[in-house]
Structure 1
Amino acid sequence: MTLLFNNISKHQIPKHINFSLRLNHNLSSYLATNHSQKHANNHFTTQDWAKTISTHITNCRNIHQLNQIYAHVIRTHMLHFHSDPFYWNTIIRAYTSFCFPSKALYVTIAMSRAGIYPDTYTLPVVLKAVSQKTDISMVKQLHTLAIKHGLETNLFCESGFISLYAKVGEFNDAGKVFDESPERNLGSWNAVIGGLSRGGRGREAVDMFLEMKRSGLEPDDVTMVSVTSACGSLGDLGLAFQLHKCVFQAKSIGKSDVLMSNSLVDMYGKCGRMDLAYMVFSRMCERNVSSWTSLIVGYATHGHVSDALECFRGMREAHVTPNGVTFVGVLSACVHGGLVQEGRHYFNMMKNEYKIEPWLQHYGCMVDLLGRCGLLEEAREMVKEMPMKANVVIWGSLMGACEKYGNVKMGEWVAKHLQQLEPWNDGVYVVMSNIYASNGLWEDVGRMRMIMKGRKVEKIPGYSVGETVEI
């Protein structure tokens, strides 16, 4: 745990937990009064007091309340008198639920320093906290701790380590934990399939799913969501039909209908069959934000502009609140349709009506939309005003617009930024050569060609591969 503490310190977190906050006087008074009254009535024990504090921690509505109560815990030395892991776990779980992994880890360190060993409930919660930081060194240290206390084969710890290793891209380590499992349960299979699917290794995820089926285990809703997502990334329609049958089987044994139906909408959308995606959507008894968003994104991806915007209108009429992903789909539809006014309208709606701070993807859509429609100066201003740095995708879309409209000056400006981000990428020379040629600047074209020749730049032809998988 000392190593874990040192590792956290590198992330510029204070060396000691500083909970010298302005304690809420009313809260403290309430707890103290409650304590005194129960004691006076002889119905109070220190164990009851500890359980009362734990209940308040569990019922916290925000991080401010949690900090106040934890400060009270420290001040009253409750954890010194009640050292059961249950109380430590409650605090760790609370900080994790509010997405404060650093504080959750500090409580874990304090627990270790107090000589309290983690139990089967501690590590799964700590692993969830670490998953919010995705730090491989922390994962390895916690794995060592689990082995030391004989918890590495615990049902939830094992699946937690598989998921974490996959999340940080350590698929070999994830596979090793899975392979060394003495008894592979559905949670472990789901962890490895989900990890491979989220990590962009769709074919491996499908292969693992087939292996799980051969082992005699039946998939649940979690399995099917992961494997249908993997199928969508592969664009394999034949496989999609077979997986749809598996979803029906999982539904027949009482698994979540909404979750799996959403995954089918997403899968068919990624495979280009929006008719089937809509068929699944139309038959859903319950639709949530993910249901509508999957359909909107599917329509937008395949250029069905009016369908995407009509679907968004239906979503608003159904009083379903859109999220950031929804607006990525809506703005993408505007890009495909060249709808500048509509794009501006939805971008402002997202910020002003739904109070969603634009992501890099939202800015990317707007820059692409403005660039495609020839509004290069407006696109440039949007890039300059973004609260985050533009990535290669945004610069690339703006570069494409410069090529389309033959804008030499802006093309050179964009090319400079692209070269700073990816100095090894030679594609920028090809595009600049085309821009110079469209303006008859043959000396500059010759200069670009000399650079390309010196760097041995070649255009690599594309190809596609088709596969069929039998389930």
Structure 2
Amino acid sequence: MSPKPSIVKLKHNPFQDITSLLQKCKHRDQLHQIHARIITTGLVHNLPIASKLVSSFALIALPATNFTARLIADRVDGLDTYTWNTIIRGYLAGNHPKEALLVYSHVRRKGLEVDSYTLQFAIKACRLMPIILEGKQLHNHVLKLGFVSEIIIQTALLNMYGVFGELRYMQQVFDETPQRDLIMWNSIVAAYAQHNFPYKALAVASAMASDGLRLNGLSVVSLLSACSSLQALRQGKAIHGYAIRGHLLDNHDVFVYNSLVSMYSKCGFLSNASRLFQMMPIGNVVSWTSMINGFSENNYLKEALALFEEMEAKNIRPDEVTILGVISMSSKLQSFKLGEWIEHYIERNGFRTGSIAMSNALMDMHAKCGNIKKACQILMGCRRSR
């Protein structure tokens, strides 16, 4: 391995040379060398230099470099909002939302100015933790600081409340936003669908269409999920038609295809589900699982088993959702031999059998297949693990 490049020597103008080096610097070790040189030249309290140095450390987004960026920033007075924002963003990029919130609180305590990006990053940190109390306090900051008309802030708040399942607050943010864009409409449709309010999701989509906005792939996926929950075949077909007219299937969007397969399967319209499944140029484990579960839930058990075997033959690894569907199918077939095979398959392929869902499914399957002894063994194993 070749040695890491060192920084070049400074020329007669330290300020210009250090600025140039910081702009070119790509490596953490080089950055530490530049930092040491800045200290020895006495430029550490020069605001443009200090700001660039802090940003360079923060943008590497490692715990050590974020810490260094914060340490330098605390020792320099007068750093601008952009510099503090890079520290918060660096912690977020490194998946440290708690530290990002602590920096935001520090900025507020010092009475420093915040902008829409500061608030957006802080709200995202709350969403990632998640902390609803901190999120509501940030909402109050947004109102007090006069950012209520900033659509990126309102969208961040809406998404945060959607993650928490605080749908009343989410709707309030949406209603208070004077100008809503497609991203905001998509977010509220998705939140209602994900939190099992399919009627609300469809109602918002109707209002969205009345507002003159076109549905995109994300909207269609959310609405098809709502139709699946309601087994609303007529609405699902209408959305399918919209997706065709809007050329949303032309790019072979696997998420839209999967949602259509799932919707038609849930509605018992397996001919359409199967046709779409066959049309998919590239399916994934979700595609296969949706089709297998569709056959199983509509009591086409042999077809479901054959599809699972085909999935195995094509070396597509199932996930836990697939396995739970296959266990359910085995329970319906009530085949002692098949139940034993599934048990061995799960153990052989390293699936986690200790989860409540998996244990309950296996107990139910073995009991229905007549293997009461095995069902009791699983039950006793669950009791011992508690």
Where does residue 7 of structure 2 map in the other structure?
Answer: none
- Give the total of aligned pairs: 349
Identity of aligned residues (%): 25
| Alignment counterpart, residue 152 of structure 1, candidates 148, 153, 156 | 148
Matches within 5 A, 1:96-175: 98=95, 100-175=96-171
CA distance in 1, matches of 2:328, 2:37: 61
Where does residue 58 of structure 2 map in the other structure?
Answer: 54
C-alpha deviation, 1:167, in angstroms: 4.0
C-alpha deviation, 1:220, in angstroms: 0.6
Q: Matched residue of 2:134: which SS?
A: helix
Which amino acid in structure 1 is aligned with residue 32 of structure 2? Answer: A
Which amino acid in structure 2 is aligned with residue 266 of structure 1? Answer: S
Instruction: Say whether 1:195 aligns with 2:199.
Output: no
Where does residue 4 of structure 2 map in the other structure?
Answer: none
Cα deviation code 1:47-101 (max 9, x no counterpart): 54334323321xxxxxxxx323333334444784655243123224224xx4x54
Where does residue 269 of structure 1 map in the other structure?
Answer: 265
Instruction: Say whether 1:32 aligns with 2:32.
Output: yes
Cα deviation code 1:282-337 (max 9, x no counterpart): 11222233322322332333333343343334444444443333333233333333
Where does residue 229 of structure 1 map in the other structure?
Answer: 225
| Alignment counterpart, residue 219 of structure 1, candidates 211, 215, 218 | 215
Matches within 5 A, 1:304-453: 304-338=300-334, 339-351=338-350, 359-386=355-382
C-alpha deviation, 1:40, in angstroms: 10
CA root-mean-square deviation? 3.5
CA distance in 2, matches of 1:388, 1:329: 26
Cα deviation code 1:196-255 (max 9, x no counterpart): 111211122112211211221110111111111000000011221111111113335977
CA distance in 2, matches of 1:316, 1:106: 49
Cα deviation code 1:10-66 (max 9, x no counterpart): xxxxxxxxxxxxxxxxx9756423645899999x95454334323321xxxxxxxx3
CA contact 1:206–1:227 (8 Å) conserved in 2? yes
CA distance in 2, matches of 1:298, 1:79: 62
Structure 1 length-normalised TM: 0.64
CA distance in 1, matches of 2:237, 2:67: 55
Where does residue 287 of structure 2 map in the other structure?
Answer: 291
CA distance in 2, matches of 1:347, 1:30: 50
C-alpha deviation, 1:129, in angstroms: 3.4
CA contact 2:265–2:291 (8 Å) conserved in 1? yes
C-alpha deviation, 1:258, in angstroms: 1.8
- Give unpaired runs (5+ residues) of structure 2: 1-26
CA distance in 2, matches of 1:186, 1:280: 27
Where does residue 94 of structure 1 map in the other structure?
Answer: 93
When residues 55 and 181 of structure 1 are mapped into structure 2, their CA distance, relative to the original with a 3 A threshold, is closer
CA distance in 2, matches of 1:157, 1:282: 42
Structure 2 length-normalised TM: 0.77
Where does residue 297 of structure 2 map in the other structure?
Answer: 301
When residues 323 and 253 of structure 1 are mapped into structure 2, their CA distance, relative to the original with a 3 A threshold, is closer
CA contact 1:331–1:346 (8 Å) conserved in 2? no
When residues 297 and 111 of structure 1 are mapped into structure 2, their CA distance, relative to the original with a 3 A threshold, is farther
CA contact 2:257–2:280 (8 Å) conserved in 1? yes
CA contact 2:69–2:87 (8 Å) conserved in 1? no
C-alpha deviation, 1:357, in angstroms: 7.2
When residues 321 and 253 of structure 1 are mapped into structure 2, their CA distance, relative to the original with a 3 A threshold, is closer
Cα deviation code 1:145-171 (max 9, x no counterpart): 222223333323323333333443433
